[in-house]
Amino acid sequence: MAVVKSQLFASDPDAFATLSQVVSGTLRLGQAGTGGFPPVVTDDFAVGKLQQALARMGFPTPSGATNHFGPETATSVANFKAFWSLTPADGVAGRRTISALDYEMLQLE
């Protein structure tokens, strides 16, 4: 199984487990009601770590790190994905999105 490596993502065991599943392609982070496969996690410590990483990259959510994936987080994710040319440039954080953020967080350590 692929795992996240940055200190931000790996420092919390619960977030590490969830984000590693995202990087492995068995989960995604997104808003409630997001369809498709793999399944989506909406409320989790991993969402808070995602929000912190997005803020560090210049794509903050106005409410800060809330551990809840709502419209603000979806907008920040979509903007980050567009910046990185990740497709689809939607508001769902999957394997490529978390891998790109993990890479960026490693560069900042």
Mean pLDDT within 66-94: 96
Give the residue among 16, 40, 32 at the shortest CA–CA distance from 93. Answer: 40
pLDDT tens across 19-70, in order? Answer: 999 999 999 999 999 999 999 999 999 999 999 999 999 999 999 999 999 9
Whether 1 shows a pLDDT value over 80: the answer reads: no
Residue 2's pLDDT is 83
By residue range, what is the domain housing residue 81?
7-108
Report if residue 22 sits inside a domain.
yes
CB 24 within 8 A of CB 2: yes
Residue 37's pLDDT is 92
Number of domains in the chain: 1
SS3 of residue 47 by DSSP: helix
Q: What CATH number corresponds to the domain at position 46?
A: 1.10.101.10
pTM comes to: 0.96
CA distance 17 to 22: 9
Residue 25's pLDDT is 96
Cβ-count burial of 96 within 10 angstroms (0-12 exposed, 13-18 middle, 19+ buried)? middle
